[in-house]
Structure 1
Amino acid sequence: MSYNSATLGSGSRTAGRTFEFGRTHVVRPKERHQATIVWLHGLGDKGSSWSQLLETLPLPNIKWICPTAPTRPVALFGGFPCTAWFDVGDISEDGPDDLEGLDASAAHVANLLSTEPADIKLGIGGFSMGAAIALYSATCRIIGQYGNGNLYPVNLSAVIGLSGWLPCSSTLRNRMERSHEAVRRAASIPILQCHGLADDVVAYKHGEKSAQALSSAGFRNLTFRTYDGLGHYTVPEETDEVCHWLTVNLGLERSQAY
């Protein structure tokens, strides 16, 4: 019941910058492998923090991959460097989107999933900024390409965003109009969003508006859960919801402990 760690990070090159990702931690399935989910940490955190929690969940058929974001200057902190999936200066619908950083992290996640066996269901989940990448990846999947136009290579069967928001929400509908397959794909991909009403880091309204943007763009299989009194952290009630939702939507064998 220990997690295995990859010893090397990997780089992702875009037109302007090269991003060096940190250490990746892997939680192996304890029973028959049915699904692989990349789980993304929040701003300033690392993959090992979440791998330890995910290992305790009663989901023995899931392999969890927990990468660590690159260390980069973050505008929100006045340019101070920390682990971040993309640069962010203002967490709001009106703030500028770091499309280059978003695409690099989404591509890194897709690359991690692309080597999984063909019969394994694939998913992406995350907390806070990690949730932002998970939701952004969902839009890339249904449109079929990243924001930079490169093809998105993997099929997603589940997307989870805890205490997060959707980057590029203002341009989502315009991007979808370029793809005939986007509406059909959007209707089929399951998404779970959870947000605390007392979140003082990523305000509840940003999570709610993100869910509304996804729904209006055609994401019909979206569940939005609200937690009264929950701040910017997770609680057992929320992780229980995640376990139940994944078990149902991925058709997982139920753990005897669940």
Structure 2
Amino acid sequence: MAASSSRNGANVLDLKCSHFVEPQGDQRASIVWLHDKDEHFTDSVQFVKSLKLKNVNWICPPIVYTNTSYDFGSNIKQDDREALDSAAKFVADLLLREPLNVVKGVGGFGMGAVVALQFATNCALGHYPINPRVVVGINGWLSITGSITSSIEYTVGAVARAASQKIFFTRGAESSTSLHP
């Protein structure tokens, strides 16, 4: 696996993802599941296996975003935004390889949830020729919600694309995690 470093020092891996939990039976969905920065992709593999969703192809990349200096306050730095956009593009590239006739989705924990939500935002804004039907964020955040809302309101077609996304977002120790396609 080769890592490419962006100009800001945040690493986004450029790799072929070979970590799948393949469907048992007919594939009806493809979901990219992203782990948190302190976890390993095998944690994601174990988690999605425990869900026992038989018709889902789970894609669990080894890592997507590793910038540990991410500013969680209201003022996101430009280099963090660029790194998140690169990670979201990586997710888009993974899902664009999947069959056209299946439901596409993305989700994750912590930083994985941040990337999933950034991907969903970029899709709503029309940055990729894909729009996820399922988006799950567990213990994640978006620190730029005000600018996202105005961007979606003023981008042609973005409101409809955002409305077609089914988003489950939860935060806190008491959150339940139940996914059903």
TM-score range normalised by the length of the shorter chain: 0.7 to 0.9
- Aligned residue identity for 2:72: I
Secondary structure at 1:156's aligned position in 2?
Answer: coil
- CA distance in 2 between counterparts of 1:46 and 1:20 reads 14
1:91 alignment counterpart: 72
Q: Percent of counterpart pairs with the same letter?
A: 34
Superposition pairs of residues 36-55 of structure 1, within 5 angstroms: 36-55=30-49
The answer to whether the aligner puts 1:163 opposite 2:139 as a matched pair is: yes
Deviations 1:135-183 (A, max 9, x none): 11111111112xxxxxx13221100000110143232133224411011
1:19 alignment counterpart: 12
Structure-2-length-normalised TM-score: 0.85
User: Is contact 1:12-1:108 (8 Å) kept?
Assistant: no
- CA distance in 2 between counterparts of 1:50 and 1:136 reads 19
- Aligned residue identity for 1:40: L
Cα distance change, pair 13–95 in 1 and its aligned pair in 2 (3 A) = closer
1:206 alignment counterpart: none
Larger RCO (CA within 8 A; separation ≥ 6)? 2
Deviations 1:35-76 (A, max 9, x none): 00000000122211110121121210101101122585632x
User: Is contact 2:45-2:60 (8 Å) kept?
Assistant: yes
For residue 15 of structure 1, report the CA deviation from its aligned partner.
6.8
Cα distance change, pair 10–110 in 1 and its aligned pair in 2 (3 A) = farther
1:223 alignment counterpart: none
- Aligned residue identity for 2:73: S
Secondary structure at 1:140's aligned position in 2?
Answer: helix
Q: For 1:110, which of 92, 95, 113 is the aligned residue?
A: 92
| Aligned positions, number | 178
The answer to whether the aligner puts 1:190 opposite 2:166 as a matched pair is: yes
- CA distance in 2 between counterparts of 1:140 and 1:165 reads 15
For residue 92 of structure 1, report the CA deviation from its aligned partner.
2.9
User: Is contact 1:39-1:64 (8 Å) kept?
Assistant: yes
User: Is contact 2:65-2:83 (8 Å) kept?
Assistant: no
- CA distance in 1 between counterparts of 2:104 and 2:140 reads 20
Secondary structure at 1:53's aligned position in 2?
Answer: helix
Q: For 1:74, which of 68, 78, 83 is the aligned residue?
A: 68
For residue 121 of structure 1, report the CA deviation from its aligned partner.
0.9
For residue 24 of structure 1, report the CA deviation from its aligned partner.
4.5
Cα distance change, pair 124–177 in 1 and its aligned pair in 2 (3 A) = same
Superposition pairs of residues 192-231 of structure 1, within 5 angstroms: 192-196=168-172, 198=173, 227=174
Q: For 2:24, which of 27, 30, 38 is the aligned residue?
A: 30
Secondary structure at 1:32's aligned position in 2?
Answer: coil
- Aligned residue identity for 1:169: T
- CA distance in 2 between counterparts of 1:63 and 1:142 reads 23
Deviations 1:2-49 (A, max 9, x none): xxxxxxx46668676773357652101112110000000001222111
- CA distance in 2 between counterparts of 1:143 and 1:154 reads 11
Cα distance change, pair 117–39 in 1 and its aligned pair in 2 (3 A) = same
Can you give the 5+ residue segments of structure 1 that lack an aligned partner in the other structure?
1-8, 76-87, 146-151, 199-226, 231-237, 248-258
Structure-1-length-normalised TM-score: 0.61
